[in-house]
């Protein structure tokens, strides 16, 4: 079983990233072969500061390592170091429908925000590069947040179309979604996903927030006029806090509801705050030590890229052969 997933090295990572993706990554190191990537190429599709991108890569690398990624138990690398990703992206464009890309949520949202004249072509082709990220490693599973279902379905379609047209070349991957905490919402606007770029400052709990800040944000979370700690369509704020505590404790939301029966919102929010502070403390402490040594982080990423390149280059020999691109190549 081979697993692949990637994360953007932009912005500070928040509780939703941690619960929805990073915790899964750590656990999956024990299940077969795990490949994890910092997708710096994807980060270039929106305005950014070039000097800041490299620093953001190190920030994110240190965060993931602090959370429990182990370079001896997984392949951990920077996307831009493995050129096979971009080569395969271009070749997969041959079996990707223009209409499918126009229907992707991310492109539609960015087009609406920036306008068709300003949204980049790389934002449009983003899902194809994402498919290449996975397919070049012939991964069986892709652990992602629930909001990535559309992208997983597209990469499955692309793999199937390629195999049907050029012969069986790719593994058709499956999405792996967290059963608890799949979609952590903004604490101030619980109808929106928690987000670094589109979320509210007070509604986004960052992994590296100090304990007092984490506690204040959770205690200030928007709820409703009631007192009952239960999930319901008209109680999105409380439902979100229940999901957060369930994920942090590793229990079902029903158990959270039962344990706070009659407790009231004040006691419940304090319990959530205490649990999240304890949950994030080891990561925050370990991060400071790792981030201080950028040279060591770079060495880890370079070693991971070498391992990743060995797999990706092997796949590209088969892809080029199947498509009739370039000369016949012999594996070394």
CATH 1.10.3470.10 is right for the domain spanning 201-289: no
Rounded to 5°, angle at Cα 82 from 5 and 95: 70
Q: Give the model's pLDDT for residue 297.
A: 98
For residue 120, give Cα distances in angstroms to 42, 47, 117, 124: 11, 10, 8, 7
Q: Give the model's pLDDT for residue 120.
A: 84
Tokens representing residue 187 in the block:
């604490």
Judge whether 200 and 188 are in contact, CB under 8 Å: yes
Extended strands (E) in the chain: 2-7, 33-38, 75-78, 141-143, 174-176
Q: What are the tens digits of pLDDT across the range 261-270?
A: 888 899 999 9
Per-residue pLDDT at 118 exceeds 80? no
| pTM score of the predicted model | 0.88
Q: Give the model's pLDDT for residue 32.
A: 85
Judge whether 207 and 196 are in contact, CB under 8 Å: no
What ranges do the domains of the chain cover?
Answer: 2-181+293-323, 201-289
For residue 62, give Cα distances in angstroms to 11, 80, 286, 296: 13, 18, 8, 10
Average pLDDT, the chain: 91
Q: Give the model's pLDDT for residue 168.
A: 97
What H or E segment, with its residue span, contains residue 317?
helix 294-323
CA 162/CA 158 separation, integer angstroms: 6
CA atoms within 13 A on the CB side of 98: 1
Q: What are the tens digits of pLDDT across the range 274-330?
A: 999 999 999 999 999 999 999 999 999 999 999 999 999 999 999 999 999 998 877
Q: Give the model's pLDDT for residue 76.
A: 98
Residue 11: which residues within 8 A CB-CB, separation 6 or more?
Answer: 56, 196, 197
3-state secondary structure (DSSP) of residue 14? strand
- Residue 259, burial from CB neighbour count under 10 angstroms (0-12, 13-18, 19+): middle
R_g over Cα of the chain: 21
Q: What are the tens digits of pLDDT across the range 86-105?
A: 999 999 999 999 999 988 88
3-state helix, strand, coil in the chain (%, to 5): 60, 10, 35
CATH 3.40.50.620 is right for the domain spanning 2-181+293-323: yes
- Residue 231, burial from CB neighbour count under 10 angstroms (0-12, 13-18, 19+): middle
Per the model's pLDDT, the better-predicted residue between 111 and 138 turns out to be 138
Beta bridge partners of 38: 7, 78
Q: Which of 94-98, 134-138, 147-151, 293-297 has the lowest mean pLDDT?
A: 147-151
Q: Please report which confidence band the pLDDT of residue 332 belongs to, taking 50, 70 and 90 as the band edges.
A: low
DSSP 190: T
Extended strands (E) in 218-258: none
The beta-carbon contacts of 314-319 under 8 Å, at least 24 apart in sequence, are: 315/84, 315/88, 315/135, 315/136, 315/137, 315/138, 316/84, 316/87, 316/88, 316/136, 318/169, 319/88, 319/91, 319/169
């Amino acid at each position: 079983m081979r697993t692949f997933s990637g994360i953007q090295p932009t912005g500070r990572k928040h509780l939703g990233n941690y619960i929805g993706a990073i915790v899964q990554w750590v656990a999956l190191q024990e299940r077969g072969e795990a490949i994890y990537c910092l997708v710096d190429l994807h980060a270039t599709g929106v305005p950014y500061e070039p000097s800041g991108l490299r620093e953001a890569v190190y920030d994110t690398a240190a965060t993931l390592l602090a959370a429990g990624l182990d370079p001896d138990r997984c392949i951990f690398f920077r996307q831009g170091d493995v050129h096979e990703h971009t080569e395969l992206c271009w070749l997969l464009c041959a079996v990707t429908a223009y209409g499918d890309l126009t229907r992707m949520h991310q492109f539609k949202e960015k087009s609406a925000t920036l306008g068709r004249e300003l949204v980049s072509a790389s934002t449009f082709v983003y899902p194809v590069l994402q498919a290449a990220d996975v397919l070049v490693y012939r991964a069986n599973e892709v652990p992602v947040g629930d909001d990535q279902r559309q992208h997983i379905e597209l990469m499955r379609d692309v793999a199937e179309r390629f195999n049907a047209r050029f012969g069986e070349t790719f593994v058709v991957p499956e999405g792996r979604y967290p059963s608890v905490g799949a979609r952590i919402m903004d604490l101030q606007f619980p109808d929106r996903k928690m987000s670094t770029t589109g979320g509210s400052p007070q509604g986004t709990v960052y992994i590296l927030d100090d304990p007092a800040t984490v506690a204040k944000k959770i205690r200030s979370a928007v709820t409703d006029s009631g007192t009952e700690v239960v999930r319901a369509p008209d109680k999105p704020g409380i439902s979100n806090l229940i999901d957060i505590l369930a994920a942090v404790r590793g229990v079902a939301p029903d158990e959270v509801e039962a344990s706070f029966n009659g407790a009231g919102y004040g006691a419940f929010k304090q319990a959530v705050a205490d649990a999240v502070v304890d949950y994030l403390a080891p990561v925050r402490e370990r991060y400071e030590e790792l981030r201080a040594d950028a040279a060591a982080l770079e060495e880890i990423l370079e070693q991971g890229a070498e391992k990743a390149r060995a797999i990706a280059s092997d796949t590209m020999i088969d892809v080029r052969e199947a498509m009739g691109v370039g000369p016949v190549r012999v594996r070394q």
